[in-house]
Amino acid sequence: MSRSRVSPGVAYLTRGLLSVIFPTASSVIIVGRLACLQGFSVSPWLLSAMTLGAVPLGFAAYVFVDEISQRRKATRLGARLVPRIQGKWPGNLDKLVNVILTLEVEYLGQPNSGPTLNYRCLWEDYIVTTEPQHVKTILVTDFHNYVKGAKFREAADSILGTGVFNSDGNLRRAFRLHRTMTRPFFTHDRISHFEIFDRHANRAIALAKDRFRMDLAIDFQDLISRFTLDSASEFLFGDCIDSLSVELPFPDNTLQSTNSKPRPGDNAAAFTNAFSQAQHAISRRVIIGAAWPMTEILADSTAQHMKVVDKFLDPILEAALRRHSTAAKSDADETAEDQTFLDHLVKLTSDFKIVKDETLNILLAGRDTTASTLTSAIYLLAMHPEILSRLREEIISKVGPTRMPTYGDIKEMKYIQAVLNETMRLFPAV
């Protein structure tokens, strides 16, 4: 599928030009004309200089007026404005650069002065809160009032498209459509079939054990992300991405680390990497705010990554659509039980883009949440060995050392549920 050719930066500048320069230029020209009528001579150079000069002035005026109206509104509501961080550079540009640089190595949202802060990068409010009551209001009690909004949709569009992750609850029709499309697939019966997960889990554990025998540490988050990617892809579209087939990274301080670079042409490694990089680009865009396209003048920063994702995904989706249209002719399709999420989806629509967006969204939802929660759980268990041994006791007594757990087992294992609940309370994935 072709993606738009114009880079986000060029599109943004064009829009900006139309909405800022034109009105400014026309007013400057009108003033110039009037001056001419009065007998003054005005050179075109002066007019151009005035136009260019008027743009930042106009923006400053806009920021100023907006500021006053916010203060008025706050006073009227008896509210207090969220405290702003004070950077050294105009528009808090120094803070913005800092946030982007530390994004990869630190947690976002650990304000160092108070639970709620306005980063206000490039004169655009960017409010971060860790106050539980606020989070509850946003995610639960007043959810419909906190839409993702046009800004997030624009930043994520090149990856999530029109899928369920990128739609707002208050766009009711769209949201219901997503739910009615995706939900019926996730029946009790289907989610209680653990075979796929068990098989990939065993494989992941075997890889970890290999390394432990060599007395080497593993990157658990990397390992478990591959487990969730492989099991989610097999569960959703019947084709496993097989990222567990790529050699695990070695710790930096070992001999092996120097010669364990991923081999070129390795599809699984390429897909995994591209998918993560594309997601990373979305967070970077959201953090920069409305002006993010200015950092992507030459090209869409997600384009090369999405090309890799497309190369893997498109043939699978096309095959599913083809299978469905052949089966539909023989009438066998309607009654057959859907094997995968994809089989289910192609019965509802033959629109390639919808199928693709929906699949990518669910893949993202199923993968990162699980990987993140399991990583946090292992981290916490490593810090609390007494909890780990109690958990192990429950598992050994209910399931034993080798058997695959059943849905019934899981329902009865209250301790593992409590451990996961507590993990999700401390490190919520969504």
Q: Which residues bind ligand NAG (CB under 6 A)?
A: 414, 417-418, 421
Closer of 80 and 414 to ligand NAG (Cβ): 414
Place of tokens 């509104």: 73
- If the CB atoms of residues 35 and 418 are measured against ligand NAG, the closer one turns out to be 418
> In the complex with ligand NAG, which residue's Cβ is closer, 167 or 370?
370
Per-residue b or e along 361-371, where b marks 16 or more CB atoms closer than 10 Å to that residue's CB: bbbbbbbbebb
Q: Which is nearer to ligand NAG, 177 or 377 (CB)?
A: 377
Helix (H) or strand (E) segment spanning residue 127: strand 127-129
Cβ atoms of 274 and 310 within 8 Å: the answer is: no
Return d(Cα 162, Cα 177) in angstroms, integer: 11
Name the nearest CA neighbour of 283 among 301, 298, 268: 301
CB 219 within 8 A of CB 260: no
Structure tokens at 61: 């005026």
Pick the closest to residue 393 from 422, 417, 374, 413 (CA basis): 413
Residue 52: how many CA atoms within 13 Å on its side-chain side? 6
* Shortest separation between residue 200's beta carbon and ligand NAG, angstroms: 24
Token couple for 72? 């008025």
CB of 417 to ligand NAG, least distance (A): 4
Shortest spacing between CB 424 and ligand NAG, in angstroms = 8
207/346 Cα distance (integer angstroms): 35
Closest CA to 15 of 285, 290, 286: 290
The letter for the amino acid at 102 is: T
Q: How many Å apart are CA 282 and CA 302, to the nearest integer?
A: 8
Which helix (DSSP H) or strand (DSSP E) does residue 116 occupy? strand 116-118
Determine the 3-state secondary structure of 15 from DSSP. helix
Closer to ligand NAG by CB, 132 or 265: give it.
132
In the complex with ligand NAG, the residue whose CB is nearer, 260 or 417, is 417
Nearest residue to ligand NAG, by Cβ distance, number only: 421
Report the residue number, 157 or 412, with the smaller CB distance to ligand NAG.
412
Residue at token pair 């989706």:
317
- Least distance CB 418 / ligand NAG (angstroms): 4
Nearer Cβ to ligand NAG (188/414): 414
Can you tell me the distance from the alpha carbon of 368 to that of 374, in angstroms, rounded to the nearest whole number?
A: 10
Q: DSSP character for 21?
A: I
Closest separation between CB of residue 232 and ligand NAG, Å?
22
417 CB contacts (<8 Å, ≥6 apart)?
410
Which CB atom, from 337 or from 386, has the smaller least distance to ligand NAG? 386
Closest approach, Cβ 352 to ligand NAG, in A, equals 37
Query: Shortest approach of ligand NAG to residue 27 CB, angstroms?
Result: 59
261 CB-near residues (< 8 Å, 6+ apart): none
Angstrom distance (rounded) from CA 83 to CA 117: 5
